[in-house]
Structure formats: C-alpha cells, structure tokens
Structure 1
Amino acid sequence: MNSPDLPFSNIVLPLVLVVDDETHSLDAIRRNLEEDFSVLTASSAEDARKLLEQHEVSVILCDQRMPGTTGVKFLGQVRELWPDTVRIIISGYTDSQDIIAGINEAGIYQYLPKPWLPEHLLTTVSNAVEARSLQLQTQRLNLELRTSAPVLRQRKQLSLATAQAAFDFDTMVRAPGSPLDAVCDMAARVARYDLAVLVTGESGTGKELLARAIHYASPRSERAFVMENCAAMSDTLLESELFGHKRGSFTGAFEDHVGLFQRADGGTVFLDEIGDTSPAFQVKLLRVLQEGEVRPVGASRPVGINVRVIAATHRDLEQQVRSGQFREDLYYRLASITLSVPPLRERSADILPIAQMLLARASVELGRPNLSFANDVAANLLAHPWPGNIRELKNEIYRAVALSDGDTVSATAFSRRVLYGQPGQAATAQGSSLAQSGSLQERLDAIEAVILRETMLRHHWNKTHAAKELGLSRVGLRQKLARFGLEGQTDA
C-alpha cells in the first residue's frame, strides 16, 4: 500500500486508487497513469479501504479476481460508503453476465478488459475524472437551485450558452490556413441538418471535440449529447449499455437499465471507434437506425427514439467494407456526411498554437500561472512527428509544466522521445530533402548542419557531450555551430 509522492506541493492532480493483488499489474498501471494523475496502489481490499478512509479518491480501478473477495463485491461496498468515487472494474475474464451484474450491483462506470492498451487506460480514467467533476458540479447546482423555476430556466440557458461557447468550431485551435479549416467549415454547414455524420482520423486528433461542436451547433443542442466507446465492451455489454435491459432479463439484471439511446432522445449519440464492433452487433445497430426504435434486452416491446448519430473511427471503413469486416448497408447509414480530421503531422502550423493553448490550460489546472515557453521549445515541438497527435502533445505539455521550475518551460522538461526521437532519423529525413540540389559542397553543408542540430538536440545543447560524440574539440564544434547559424543555445 502506498501514498502518492508529489514533487510539487502546489500541483493538485486527480487521485486514482488501483487495487490488484498482482504486483506487476499494479506497477504497470501506475507507470501509465502517474504523469497525469496522483496514484495510490493497494494489493488487497482491506488496504484499499484504509486508503479510501484517508484520502479523497476520484477514481478507483479494481481487479475482479482477488483473494477473499471480488472486485464487484468490494466496489459495491465502495458505492455505499464513498458514492462519489467513480468505480472501474479490470478483468481478464469476459463473462458478460458477471460484468452486467457488476454494473447493477456496484454502479460500475466502465469495464476495462485485460490486456489493456495504455492509450485506452488513460482515456478511460480521464473520462471517469471528468464524469466525477460534472457529477459533483451538478450536485452543487441542485443544492443551490432547489425549486426556483425562473432560476432553473436561467441556469439552463446559461449552461447551454457555456457549452456552445466551449465546443464552438472556433475553439478547435488552429493556425490561419490550417487544413482543419475546411473540415470545420463543412461540419458547420451540415450541423444544422439532421444527417448522420462519420468522423474519421487517427486517435487523438480531436474527433470527439468535432462531434460535440456539431451537436451544439445543431437544433438538438438543448438536448443530451452522450457518447460510448464501442471498442471498450463486449457485444452483450455494449447492447445493454446502448439499448438498455429489463429487470430479470438475464442473471444479474436486478433492475431496469435505460440505454444511452433512450437517454439521448431528442439529442445526439456519439459512437466512438465504431469500426471495432462485431458484425453481429452491426446488425442490431442497423436495425435501430432503420426503424428508429430500440428493444431493451428482455423487453416485449420496442421503444421509439429520435436521435442523431455521429460515429467515429480511426480505421478505414471502406476497406473494411470491401474485406467483409463492416456491413456496407450500415456504413452508408452512418456516412451520410464524412469528415476526415487530419493528423497533427499534416498540419504542423497548428502545433505551436495548440501548444500555447494547452500551456495556458495546464497553468491554470496545475496552479502554475504566468508560464511561458523558452526559446528552445518551438524547434523541438515542430521537429517531433507526434504519432499520438493532440493527446500526446497534451500529455507532454502537462508533464513539462509539472517538471519545470520558475516561470519558463524549457525543452529539457519534455520527454526523451520528443527531445531525442530516433537517433539519426531526423538527419536522414531532413538531410535527404535538403541535399537534392546545389553543388557538392552545398549538399554536404546541408547534411552536416542537420547532423549537428540533431546531435545537439539529443544532448540538450551540451557542447561537451556533443563534441565528444562527433569527434570534435569543443572549440571546433563552436565554430561549426556558428558557421551554420546554430550558435546561441545555452549549455545543459
């Protein structure tokens, strides 16, 4: 059992408790979460209970199978004693009946299957933290507003205006002339029409943000926007979550459960990672879209619904249709309008504006006001390919803010993959493009300049280390840096 070790007393991160009797599993989850959250770990339900008594835990992740108890049973107790803590079950066993029972008995927020993917783990916990924040905010509003109808109407209008401002297309930060402009312009044009929209693009590019902007720019903006990650659940659990179920329809169904389609009636349902669903589930979803009604599991009659569906995927659905992995008729139901969000590497001009926005946000959330980037940051951010897109950029900036002293965030606060990349990769790519024209000496100079810059970046501009690697004297290195205009950086 351990407590979080925070390097800065003024940084308040959401507190996550991980419960698992396997030490390697605890360590793996902790390593993947500790950059974004404060993490507590416990190897038993008893240890976890002691930590819950001592700390205000935002999210608890609990393994299903532990000595002396089950995750569902323990989280049921957590639900009674600490109802505001969001509960997530982790299991390598995919018995859907047990999982659905867990949702009913323990009020589990989500089921996380083993083996989990780091990106999925981080997204799940981040969404859980956000859900808890919204829940607490709603509770506070309910206490404040009570039964005053005029105040309620005013608050509703204010909340809608706030949401519309928060998810306006202009809030999708980008540089003038960005490739994202055309995407946002088209999204704004189709938002007012009740058409299904398919958003494609790599993970972390902002597909959910675009979907929310479409919803709040549509006539459905006053009704609910609900979302579900279709890749995170089995067919049975996904059907129950989206369509609902009746009490007694299966083992563990102790009460009626209203599905997301019914909760979003009149609003928008966002189905993320739709390309990861099975053909069997695709048939059921197609029927819902065609008939405009859902039949909860165990129900004798269907329930009419009126929703707009926005789906998203990082996969090539057209290729999946050709290979038989995705139903063609469902594809055309979902893709009345297709919007493709380009990856960050294809809109490099957006990197610095987005980084500035994330820095401002991190400064507020982490209690570090008036932060700015040092002069050496821009070159590193622009040189990195950002395979994780905006999500990776956000994680890097929050990390850099947490590890920086003073009012300036320097390049050295970023992770090794941003500073170093793959040794030689930058020189090879940039050198080949720079050396396609000019005299022999000009081509050699271009390649040499790139090699010098890459080496200096990897050594944090430490001239002693870089000179040693390149086989130069420190004076010789300084002369070459001055010759190619690379002088002016400070030693690490």
Structure 2
Amino acid sequence: MSESNATILVIDDELRSLETLERTLSFDFTVFTASSVSQAREILNEQWIQVILCDQLMPEMTGVEFLQEVREKWPETIRIIISGYTEAEDIITGINKAGIYQYITKPWQPDKLILTLQNAVQLFDLQRQNELLAIELKMTADSAKRIMDSRRQKLKDAYQDDNGIIRAQNSPMDRVCDQIQQIAGYDVSVLLCGESGTGKELAARALHYNSLRWDKAFVVENCGALPDELLESELFGHKKGAFTGAVNDHTGLFERADGGTVFLDEIGEVSQAFQVKLLRVLQEGEIRPVGATRTRKIDVRVIAATNRDLEQEVREGRFRKDLYFRLAAMIIQLPPLHERRNDIPVLANYLLDQAMSNLGKKVSGISQEAMNCLKAYHWSGNVRELQNEVQRMLVMAREGEMLGAELLSPRVLMSVEPEEQQEMSLLNSFDGTLKERIENIEVKILYETLVRHRWNKTKAAEELGLSRVGLRGKLERYGLEKVELLPAAETSNA
C-alpha cells in the first residue's frame, strides 16, 4: 500500500461488516479499523486520519455522538455516518451537531462508497489548502475578489468552446450544443432529459456559463438523495430551533444562488407534497425558510434534470402538471452513449488523459482492438460507465504500455465479436437453429478468452479444456484471427 494513499478510519462493532468494509476500501485507501469507540480514540491520537466512516448504532454511544466528540477534538477530519436507519431527524442532528459530511445508508454499493470517500478526501485537502492560503496570504477583500473573478472567467471560457462537451464530428450531441447556445442567453427554465450518466449536469453548467448569470453562483442539489424535510431545509434554509437539531440558522441553496442558477437534479424523484412547495417558490419568486414567519425574495434561474419520462408521470398523476410546465419552458433531450458510437473514441481518449493526470500514470494510448470493443458495447451506464472502464484499464496496465483489449472487463469483451464474424448473420444473433445459437455463444467465448490471453493459444486452450489442435480447428472453422493492435486516434473536439 502506497504511503501517499488517503487514510480512512472505519468504526463498526460488527466484525464481519468491518472486515467487508476493509476489503472493499483497502485497494484505494490506507484503512484503519476499530470495533469500538475506545479503539477509535487510540487510533485518532496516534494516526493522521483524513476521513472517518462510522456506524451509527454501537454499544458505547451512537455514531453521531462519537463524531460530535471528533468534531471538537479533530475538527479537520471529514466525518461520515453509515447506517441501516434513515430517520430524517437523525440525519439533521448529525449534520448540525456532528458536522457530518455524508449519511450513507445500508446496504451500500462499493463503487458509490469509494466515490463518496474520494470526494471526502478531496474536501479534506481543499480545507487544508484554504487554511494555508488564509494564513500565508492574508488576502484582502480586493485580492480575493480578483481571484474569484479570474476563476469564474476560466470556468466561463471552458464552457465557451463547444460548451465543454467532448464529441466527434457530426455527433448527435451537436444538436444538444446548438440548443444550449440558442437557449442559454434567455432567462427561462430548462428541463434536461436523459439516462443517468449522459452528462446532464455538464449541459446545465454550459447553460449557466453561457448565460448573463455566468458571473454568479451555480449550485447543484440531487433531489432524489434526501427526504422531504431535509431537502426543504437544504433548498430554502431554516431558522434556529425550527426542528430538533436546528441549533443555528441555515441559509438554503436558493438564497445562496441569488442572481445565479440552481440545478435540481433527479427532479422526478421528489414527493407530491414537496412538489407543491417548489411550485410556490417558482411562481412567487420567494422562499420561506423552515421555521421563519417572513418570506424572502430570490432571483434564480432553475435548470432541472430527470431520467424519468415526466410527461408520462404527469399523465399517471405522479407529477404535478403545473410544476412540469413551470420547469419545462424549454426541454433538451440528451442521447444515450450507445447512440453516439462515433463519439466513443474521442471520449475514451479524453477520459484517459484525465485519468492519467489524476492517477499520475502514463500509457501510450488505447489499442484499436480495445477501441473496437468499447464502440461495440451498449454502455447502459453511459459516459460515467465508460469513465470507470477507462480508469480500470489504466490501473491494470503497466506504465508506458498501450491499453489492449485484454484489460477490458469481461462484460465489455463478451459483447463484441471479431470483424471477421460480422458477416455471419446467423452467428450475430440468437435466431436460427439450436446448433447455430450454440455456435454464436462459442464464438464469443473463444474470442473473449483469446483476447484476455493476448492470443496465446496454449493458455487459451488450457483454460477452455481443449487441445491446441482442437482450438486451432475451431479458429479455422469460425475464421477467428488476431486483430492487429493499432494506436487509437488522437483526442479531438468537433
């Protein structure tokens, strides 16, 4: 384990759960474990811990109570609760009293948990950098403003060039970019529709940074991640004492974004009760924090996004028609990645450049064979899934080598057939006789195994339980030959 890995402390009194979390996280982080609060205190006194992942229900005290203690003694450490219980009051208490960064529910998903912890580590680093800047520079208001203006200008510039959307020539995304350019300058609400991972937040940022509000705040809220009570507090704010755990006034995102843009992701997930509250805010242009007696005027542009068919939700009575028409003054539909196959090489190379920069590891590119596999795969997770696949290949590769097809996940390899087989129509589908269907499966298995073993026929035959002669016969029968590995095309924007 590299000494430069972020340090995570996992606290759980259930040993099996503790071991599972340690196995899941140990590849990406330096993990310390504690089965009790007393053990956790000893580790915190001896080790430099960046993030704590703590179970809520423990014998000595609750996770929130312990993290409240951590907040006082080790305030720079990022604090996360993991629990099978999601009472809104517990979440709010955790956020207010213990300064909890995230409240993760069980059962957790490994990829999402790792991503949450990576974001927490980034926040830890940013906090330390901000502290150092404040101490060393002692910035005046004017110098701080110049820095902020410079950063905003850089963001604006990034979204001026093709809206910051990476694509090939004659891409289906061209239409999306044209719509963004046409709509951005008008102060109307926009609804972004598309599958998860298609880049809706990227499109929302492009709309903001190409609008007249570009020099004001752009804030994001995932509406599907919070219960109504907490979502209302996050968006509209609350007064001290408004509910249990509200120990201070809290400014909501709408007020923070005054003059700018609010991006409401997963808007289709909110309850009908909250839809009424949101509709009132959009109609009146004012908010009332929870527990407040007076309203406050706000001036924001709302951009919403959903992976649901909201028109169908309206017809079936699950989404208010009046709110839908408030949000959908303009609608932009983002195509899924499997409809943008010519964009995949450009995106893959761009994502590889990003991954190499983030991981500090260099390779010479993606082979043509691997790129063909990437283009053939369906990508149900869209660009986000492609990003994970490229990063996985980079991690598994040797420094300086080309990323070959053997580094791809089995699910990606199994979705591809060699070019020589594409003209064999019966073998490219599950139509035909039983014999033909079995042959189709056999081709896929042979090809995936050969690619994984870099076309080493001895190893492939050994894995498949065939003799070399038997394997050679099958390759000749199906016309399977090694595809030459060629460097992938250079990254470019349309």
TM-score range, shorter chain: 0.7 to 0.9
SS of 2:263's partner is strand
Determine the structure 1 residue equivalent to 2:489: none
TM-superposed deviation, 1:375: 4.5
SS of 2:362's partner is coil
Query: Is this contact kept in 1: 2:302–2:327, CA < 8 A?
Result: yes
Structure 1 gaps of 5+ residues are 437-444
Output one character per residue of 1:284-314: Cα deviation in whole Å (capped at 9) or x when no partner. 1111111111111111111211111111111
1:181 aligns with 2:174: yes
SS of 1:361's partner is helix
TM-superposed deviation, 1:236: 0.8
Residues 26 and 462 of structure 1, relative CA distance in 2, 3 Å threshold: farther
Query: Is this contact kept in 1: 2:82–2:106, CA < 8 A?
Result: yes
Query: Is this contact kept in 2: 1:478–1:487, CA < 8 A?
Result: no
Residues 170 and 267 of structure 1, relative CA distance in 2, 3 Å threshold: closer
Determine the structure 2 residue equivalent to 1:192: 185
Superposition pairs for residues 217-256 of structure 1, below 5 Å? 217-256=210-249
Cα distance in 2, alignment partners of residues 422 and 465 from structure 1: 21
SS of 2:202's partner is helix
Which of 470, 479, 486 in structure 2 is aligned with 1:473? 470
Report the AA paired with residue 272 of structure 1: D
Query: Is this contact kept in 1: 2:189–2:328, CA < 8 A?
Result: yes
1:72 aligns with 2:64: yes
Q: Which moved more, 1:368-377 or 1:226-235?
A: 368-377
Which of 332, 335, 343 in structure 1 is aligned with 2:336? 343
TM-superposed deviation, 1:242: 1.2
1:366 aligns with 2:366: no
TM-superposed deviation, 1:119: 5.8
Residues 451 and 247 of structure 1, relative CA distance in 2, 3 Å threshold: closer
Residues 120 and 478 of structure 1, relative CA distance in 2, 3 Å threshold: closer
Report the AA paired with residue 103 of structure 2: Y
Residues 357 and 51 of structure 1, relative CA distance in 2, 3 Å threshold: farther
Relative to the length of structure 1, the TM-score reads 0.84
Determine the structure 2 residue equivalent to 1:310: 303
Cα distance in 2, alignment partners of residues 383 and 361 from structure 1: 23
Query: Is this contact kept in 2: 1:32–1:118, CA < 8 A?
Result: yes
Residues 278 and 39 of structure 1, relative CA distance in 2, 3 Å threshold: farther
Output one character per residue of 1:172-201: Cα deviation in whole Å (capped at 9) or x when no partner. 211111111111221122112111111121
Report the AA paired with residue 450 of structure 2: M
Report the AA paired with residue 46 of structure 1: S
1:90 aligns with 2:82: yes
Cα distance in 1, alignment partners of residues 483 and 145 from structure 2: 62
Superposition pairs for residues 29-44 of structure 1, below 5 Å? 29=21, 39-44=31-36
1:161 aligns with 2:147: no
Determine the structure 2 residue equivalent to 1:420: 414
1:294 aligns with 2:287: yes
Cα distance in 1, alignment partners of residues 335 and 30 from structure 2: 33
Which of 366, 377, 385 in structure 1 is aligned with 2:378? 385
Cα distance in 2, alignment partners of residues 81 and 266 from structure 1: 38
Cα distance in 1, alignment partners of residues 239 and 169 from structure 2: 52
Q: Which moved more, 1:467-476 or 1:38-47?
A: 467-476
Q: Which moved more, 1:26-35 or 1:164-173?
A: 26-35
Cα distance in 1, alignment partners of residues 62 and 236 from structure 2: 27
Cα distance in 2, alignment partners of residues 275 and 41 from structure 1: 39
Structure 2 gaps of 5+ residues are 431-438, 487-494
Cα distance in 2, alignment partners of residues 38 and 376 from structure 1: 36
TM-superposed deviation, 1:142: 3.3
Residues 60 and 322 of structure 1, relative CA distance in 2, 3 Å threshold: farther
Cα distance in 2, alignment partners of residues 454 and 134 from structure 1: 43
Determine the structure 1 residue equivalent to 2:256: 263
Output one character per residue of 1:124-168: Cα deviation in whole Å (capped at 9) or x when no partner. 445444444444444444345424344333312211122224445
SS of 1:112's partner is strand
Output one character per residue of 1:233-259: Cα deviation in whole Å (capped at 9) or x when no partner. 111111111111111112221111111
Residues 249 and 35 of structure 1, relative CA distance in 2, 3 Å threshold: same
What RMSD in Å do the two structures reach over aligned CA positions?
Answer: 3.5
Output one character per residue of 1:238-284: Cα deviation in whole Å (capped at 9) or x when no partner. 11111111111122211111111111111111111111111111111
TM-superposed deviation, 1:104: 0.9
Count of aligned pairs: 473
Residues 364 and 236 of structure 1, relative CA distance in 2, 3 Å threshold: same
Q: Which moved more, 1:65-74 or 1:131-140?
A: 131-140
Report the AA paired with residue 222 of structure 1: D
Query: Is this contact kept in 2: 1:380–1:418, CA < 8 A?
Result: yes
Cα distance in 2, alignment partners of residues 305 and 429 from structure 1: 61
Report the AA paired with residue 355 of structure 1: A
Q: Which moved more, 1:233-242 or 1:451-460?
A: 451-460
Relative to the length of structure 2, the TM-score reads 0.84
Report the AA paired with residue 313 of structure 1: T
SS of 2:294's partner is coil
Query: Is this contact kept in 2: 1:198–1:310, CA < 8 A?
Result: yes
Determine the structure 1 residue equivalent to 2:457: 463
Report the AA paired with residue 102 of structure 1: G
Determine the structure 2 residue equivalent to 1:110: 102
Report the AA paired with residue 476 of structure 1: G
Residues 15 and 432 of structure 1, relative CA distance in 2, 3 Å threshold: farther
TM-superposed deviation, 1:59: 3.4
Cα distance in 2, alignment partners of residues 218 and 73 from structure 1: 45
Cα distance in 2, alignment partners of residues 72 and 173 from structure 1: 43
1:331 aligns with 2:324: yes
SS of 1:210's partner is helix
Cα distance in 1, alignment partners of residues 349 and 46 from structure 2: 37
Report the AA paired with residue 154 of structure 1: R
Report the AA paired with residue 109 of structure 1: Y
Cα distance in 1, alignment partners of residues 307 and 347 from structure 2: 21
Residues 97 and 448 of structure 1, relative CA distance in 2, 3 Å threshold: closer
Which of 406, 411, 429 in structure 1 is aligned with 2:405? 411
Report the AA paired with residue 279 of structure 1: Q
Residues 42 and 349 of structure 1, relative CA distance in 2, 3 Å threshold: farther
Residues 456 and 206 of structure 1, relative CA distance in 2, 3 Å threshold: same
Cα distance in 1, alignment partners of residues 454 and 44 from structure 2: 42
Query: Is this contact kept in 2: 1:111–1:233, CA < 8 A?
Result: no
Query: Is this contact kept in 1: 2:266–2:306, CA < 8 A?
Result: yes
Cα distance in 1, alignment partners of residues 181 and 365 from structure 2: 33
Query: Is this contact kept in 2: 1:20–1:62, CA < 8 A?
Result: yes
Cα distance in 1, alignment partners of residues 378 and 31 from structure 2: 30
Cα distance in 2, alignment partners of residues 258 and 218 from structure 1: 25
Output one character per residue of 1:304-361: Cα deviation in whole Å (capped at 9) or x when no partner. 1111111111111111111111111111111111112212111111112111112111
Residues 148 and 487 of structure 1, relative CA distance in 2, 3 Å threshold: closer
